[in-house]
Amino acid sequence: MRKQHLDGILKSKIFWAIIAELAILIVCGILRPDFFRLKWIDQTGMWSGSLIDIINYSSEITIIAMGMSMVIALGGTDLSVGSLMAVSGAIALKLLRWDVVEFPTPGDFTVRPFALVILVPLVVCALMGAFNGTLISRFKMQPIIATLVLMVAGRGIAQITTNGKQFTTMFEPFRQIGLGGFIVPMPVIITIVVVTVMALFTRKTSFGMFVESVGINRNASRVSGLRSNRIIMIVYIITGFLAGISGLIYSSRISSCDSNNAGLNYEMDAILAVVIGGTSMTGGKFSLAGTVVGSLVIRTITTLVLFLGINPDAIMAIKAGIIAVVIVLQSEPVRRKMSELGKNRKQAIGGEARA
């Protein structure tokens, strides 16, 4: 029984993702002896340290990747999430300032009710997710093509929303979303809430099983009575909604909307986080826990590169190389070989003991 348990661990994709994360953390600790040190900041009332920063600045990717996990489990993808982040931030800042001519100074005020500043971007992003879902479920478009539409158009929509201007704000309640916190930074708290809700929704209800069923075989699931089109629609709506949350966090961090750079390449990072976490691009079973680990791996790689003093422009290349190694370690041939080596080692030890 113990042998089978060990074999199962060695074959698990999330196991190798965790090993990769620990290895990168150890290297960071060697480079910076104070890397694992946490300190309490009285002025902010929060813990601070490199580990907190990794979790904090991986929040946007983790939240998007929660939706991306289900999208990929369906056998699809969503390239529009980065653009939806830009749309979310642009709408929020537009509602805060509305007219930069009439309100030229970015003070501690909001022109529209703060509830609308939060809700309207989320609703709009959810509707954009519904647009993606409609193209895929009703018009049978390939997900990569359907979501490419909003990936291209989304930033244009964000620019139109703000008339091509970059709105800034000093409205404290909005700034608290990305810069505030209680014990830990607010983005970490939001991420914990999102991950918990998504885990309960997908694992304590039958919805997660429905998603996996549709991803494995859409036609068979439809014949068995599942409304696959509705499930696809719900998944893309949720993904759009989560992209909206990430957009609010991002724009709150910089107290501004940046339609050109907000969410740039985040769709790729989200997909990588899901794949590193063990979810197959062909669809089927997905792991939210694995996705969280994958997101942390991506952010920790960025931290490692900065610690090494390497030009930040090289982050993408180094990230790609490390991620390639992780994915190779997760591949079926490598995991099978590791399992066989473990068996041979145990048999050799057992033979020596009997001798």
Task: Say how far apart CA 158 and CA 225 lie, in whole Å.
Answer: 40
Six token digits for residue 136: 């895929």
User: In the chain, what are the helix, strand and coil shares in percent, each to the nearest 5?
Assistant: 70, 5, 25
- Specify the CATH number for 56-324; select among 1.10.3470, 2.60.40, 3.40.1000, 1.20.120: 1.10.3470
What pLDDT, on a 0 to 100 scale, did the predictor assign at position 344? 63
Residue spans of the chain under pLDDT 50:
none
**pLDDT tens track for 100-118:** 777 778 888 899 999 999 9
Alpha helices (H) in 162-255, listed in sequence order: 172-179, 186-203, 207-216, 218-223, 228-254
Sequence spans of domains, the chain: 56-324
Output the pLDDT for position 339: 65
Report the pLDDT value the prediction gives residue 72, as an integer from 0 to 100: 95
The helix or strand, by DSSP H or E, that contains position 181, with its residue range, turns out to be strand 181-182
Torsion of Cα atoms, 224 then 230 then 232 then 236, to 10°: -160
Alpha carbon distance 292, 21 (integer Å): 11
Question: Side chain identity at 277, as an amino acid letter?
Answer: G
Tell me, what's the pLDDT at 71? 97
pLDDT, one tens digit per residue, over 69-89 is 999 999 999 999 999 999 999
pLDDT attached to residue 4: 57
- In this prediction, residue 2 carries a pLDDT of 58
Q: At what angle do helices 186-203 and 50-57 cross, to 10 degrees?
A: 60
pLDDT at residue 309 in the model: 80
Q: What is the pLDDT of residue 352?
A: 54
Q: Are 62 and 195 in contact (CB under 8 A)?
A: yes
pLDDT value at residue 349 = 57
